[in-house]
Structure 1
Amino acid sequence: MSQAKTNARKCAVQALYQWQMSGESLSRIEIYFQEEDHLKGAQKNYFNEIFHGVPAQLDVIDAALAEFVDRPVEKIDPVERAILRVGVYELINRLETPYKVIINEGVNLAKFFGAEGSHKYINGILDKVSQKQRAVEIASKQAPSAP
């Protein structure tokens, strides 16, 4: 995966965290990220897709999470919640990105932004969500190849 996409994910997590905590409008947060040059080195289109896509699909994303988390989604640590929402958004919408890449990116985001050990929680939840959302992809990778 490209560093520009990784940087877009980092920015999306930060922006979604800010949105969750402040309740500010998406447009105001987006302007802040553009004016402060936070998106330097990030794939801006990918950032925009995730940053606007997560709130637009919040009910679907949170329902996918709720099935596998140990508490109400709103009670998950805000940093972890933003990371999980980005991962689930990609699992649902970015089928060209392998599920293992999405999980790995989520783990790395948790190591970068999250509390100590939070990457284990992120890994476990995204793995479970991917088993459901990407069942066909996972099965095709596990199927024995024909002789």
Structure 2
Amino acid sequence: MTQHEMRRIALQALYLANQEPDLDYDEIVSRTQRALDLKDLPDFSQELVKGVLSQKADLDEEISKYLKSGWRIERLAQIDRAILELGLYEIKNSKQIEPVAALDEALNLGEEFSSEKSKAFINGVLGNFIDEK
């Protein structure tokens, strides 16, 4: 399984976590495994999910700084929010890929799971964090 495929699995788990914020990590993993018909969540997927969930408040706060005036992170489409959280987590923390590659991965996920308009939005928000590095 490629890193991109494992990242897709992590994204789907994070989407679930955003939809049902009261779920604990084990329940998120269990439901994701059932939904995707997986025996186990790959280690890399688990690492990403744990990382994002452990930094969720900080990630959301940082993302919120780059939303248009009057917009709140809670108003974003849940899939776009999950893509932004995952992308920002990797930009800030990944030792496996460079920040620009993490942005490219987020854009690929946006292309697969969201709309063209959302892809441009994701690029606009996460691009700010590339410039900061």
Normalised-by-shorter TM-score class: 0.7 to 0.9
Q: Which residue of 2 aligns with 1:79?
A: 79
* Offset, 1:120: 0.6
Residue 76 to residue 96, structure 1, CA distance change in 2 (3 Å):
same
* Offset, 1:55: 1.2
Structure 2 stretches lacking a partner, 5+ long: none
Q: Deviations over 1:49-107 (max 9, x none)?
A: 11111111112211221121222112111110000000010011114411211111111
Residue 15 to residue 47, structure 1, CA distance change in 2 (3 Å):
same
- 1:4 and 2:2 matched: yes
Q: Percent identity?
A: 25
- Count residues with an aligned counterpart: 128
Mean alpha-carbon deviation: is it higher for 28-37 or for 74-83? 28-37
Q: Which residue of 1 aligns with 2:38?
A: 37
Matched AA of 2:25: L
Q: Which residue of 1 aligns with 2:58?
A: 60
Secondary structure of 1:37 counterpart: coil
Larger Rg: 1
**In 2: Cα distance, 1:54 partner to 1:62 partner:** 10
Structure 1 stretches lacking a partner, 5+ long: 135-147
**In 1: Cα distance, 2:58 partner to 2:95 partner:** 16
Q: Which residue of 2 aligns with 1:15?
A: 13
Normalising by structure 2, we get a TM-score of 0.86
Matched AA of 2:31: Y
Normalising by structure 1, we get a TM-score of 0.78
Matches within 5 A, 1:91-102: 91-102=91-102
- What is the root-mean-square deviation in Å for CA atoms of aligned residues? 1.9
